[in-house]
Amino acid sequence: MMNSTNHVHDKNAADAGLLTLVTLLRFLGISADPEQIRHRSRTVDGKRIMASGTVNVSEAQAALTATGVTVSGTEGTAISGGTVAPFTDATLNATTSDFTATINWGDGTTTAGTAVQHAEFSYRCVGAGAQRTRAHCHEGRATMSFQGKENKVMHSLLKQVLLATLFSLSSVGTVLAQHAYITNQNSNNVSVIDTATNTVIATINVGAAPYGVAVSPDGSKVFVANAHSNTVSVIDTGSNTVTGTANVGSNPAGVAITPDGKKVYVANDASANVSVINTATPNAVSSTVTLGTPGNPNPVGVAVSPDGSVAFVGGGTPAQDSFVYVIATATDTLTTKIDIGFNSGPYGIAFTPDGTKAYVGRQGFGDVAVINPATNAVTGSVATGSGATAVAVSPDGTKLFVANGGDNTVSVVDTATNKVTGTFPTAGPFGLSVSDDGKLYVANPHSNTVSVINTCSNKVVATIPVGTLPFAFGTFIQSSETLGGCLRRGH
C-alpha cells in the first residue's frame, strides 16, 4: 500500500465550488516532489504487464478514497473497459453523472473515464486506452472530479495509472524472441536463454574459458572471447552454431562492436593490445592497436561510443596506474588516455545512449567513474559497493546497473543525478545486460545461475541455471531493433 501527499487547488471555491486534488505517479522511482510516488510493476510471460498500488485521498467535507487494482495488457492489443480505480464517496444523493474522469496514460494519450456505481457510496472508474507503444515505466495520472448537487462542493481524486510496460509493434514483421548468450568459463560453452520464457534453449560449445561476449547490433552474430584459447568464436544466432574463429591476442577479455556492426574490438589482457576484427571477414584480425608492452597495461573492459567514433578500453598497470585508453575507430589508433585514479582497477565500461556520459566500474574503489566523452575528463564518481566490475545502461538511458561482486549486490544509479536509487542482492554478480523490454539479466558465477530482475521494482523475478562459472562480460542480449524485419519498438 502506498499513500500520497496531494495538493489542493482552490480557486474561487465559494463561487464555483471547485476543489481539485492531483497526485502524480512516477513509476521510475520516488522523487522529491511530494506529488510523485513510486509504483510497482512486473512483466508476465514476456508480453503482459501488471501494476498495482493504493492511493488514499480525502477532503474535509467528504472523503473520496481510491484503491489500486491490477490492469494487464497484451502486446498489440488496446486496453478496453477496464477498471482503473474503485473508489468510494460518502456524499449523499450522488449519482454517477456527478463524476467526470480523465485518464492520462503517461505515453502521450488521454482518454475519458466513466464512473460506474456498484454499491451504496461505492463506484468504479472505468477507462479504455489506445494500443500502447513500449515505455519501460510510464509516468501518468488519472483525475476524477465530483460536482455535488446540493452544496456544490467538488471532491476530486487522482488514481495512479495502472500501466507500466505495454508493447506494440512499430513496423510490419514477425516478433522474434530476444536471446541472451551467457559465457560459461569452466564449461567452455555458451548458454542461450529465451528472454520471453527465461529458459535455456541451446548450449553452444566454443573455445577454452569463454569470458567476454558481444551481440552484433542486428542480432545476427555473437562474438565470444575465449581467454585460454586466445581466440574469438563467431556464433550465428539463426542456427546457434559456431561459424568462425579468429586468433587474437593473449588472454582476450572484453568485446565490443561498433553501432554499424562493421568492427569488433577485443581487449587482450596479457598482451596489452586490442584486436580489431572486420565483421565482413570475421575469421581474421584486420588490425591491432598497441596500448603498451605485454602485461603493461592489462586491458579488460571495452565499449564503443553510440556514434561509433571512439572505443574506450580500461586497463591498469603493474605500477597500479589506471587509465581508459581512447581509440579512434576511423583509423584504429590510440589518441589519448584518461587517468581514472591510482589503483582504481578499471573494469566494465558503458556509454549512455546519447553519448554524453561513459561509466567505468572501478573494482579497486568500489564505485564507478563518470567520464565526459566530449572532453575525455572524469567529471565525478558514484559509490556503489565492493568490487564494482561490470556496468550496463538501460535502453532508455535513465538507469545504470553496477555489479558489486564483493558485496553480492547490484546497484541502480539514476543517470540524471548520478545517485544510487536502489540496491538488490544476487549471488556474486558479474556480467549485466538489459533486454529491450527492460529486464536486467545478471550472470552469477558463484551460483552458476542468471538472475532476471524487474527493473521497475528491482525484484528478482526468475533464476535460471546455466553452465559452470558464467561471467558473460559484455552486452550479451540481442536487440529487437532489426530482428525478423522488425524495427525497434518505440519507447
Q: What are phi and psi of 96, to 5 degrees?
A: -65, -25
Residue 466 C-alpha cell reads as: 546455466
CATH 2.130.10.10 in the chain: give the residue spans.
Answer: 179-485
Looking at residue 103, its pLDDT comes to 62
Distance CA(95)–CA(395), nearest Å, equals: 46
Distance CA(247)–CA(288), nearest Å, equals: 12
* Residue ranges of the chain whose pLDDT lies below 70: 1-94, 99-110, 118, 120-121, 123-125, 127-177, 480-491
**CB within 8 A of 218, min separation 6: which ones?**
261, 481, 482
- ω before 297 within 30° of 0 (cis)? yes
The superfamily CATH assigns to domain 179-485 is YVTN repeat-like/Quinoprotein amine dehydrogenase (2.130.10.10)
Distance CA(460)–CA(457), nearest Å, equals: 9
Distance CA(44)–CA(21), nearest Å, equals: 33
Distance CA(111)–CA(102), nearest Å, equals: 6
Distance CA(394)–CA(456), nearest Å, equals: 11
- SS3 (DSSP) at 232: strand
Looking at residue 368, its pLDDT comes to 97
CA dihedral 208, 209, 215, 216 (to 10 degrees): -40
Distance CA(409)–CA(428), nearest Å, equals: 7
Looking at residue 109, its pLDDT comes to 62
Looking at residue 116, its pLDDT comes to 78
Looking at residue 104, its pLDDT comes to 56
Q: Measuring CA to CA, which residue among 185, 179, 211, 195 is closest to residue 467?
A: 185
Q: Measuring CA to CA, which residue among 220, 77, 93, 210 is closest to residue 146?
A: 93
Distance CA(208)–CA(338), nearest Å, equals: 32
Max distance between CA atoms of the chain, in angstroms, equals: 87
**CB within 8 A of 331, min separation 6: which ones?**
none
Looking at residue 114, its pLDDT comes to 76
Work out whether strand 40-44 and strand 179-184 pair parallel, antiparallel, or are unpaired: unpaired
Looking at residue 391, its pLDDT comes to 97
Looking at residue 12, its pLDDT comes to 36
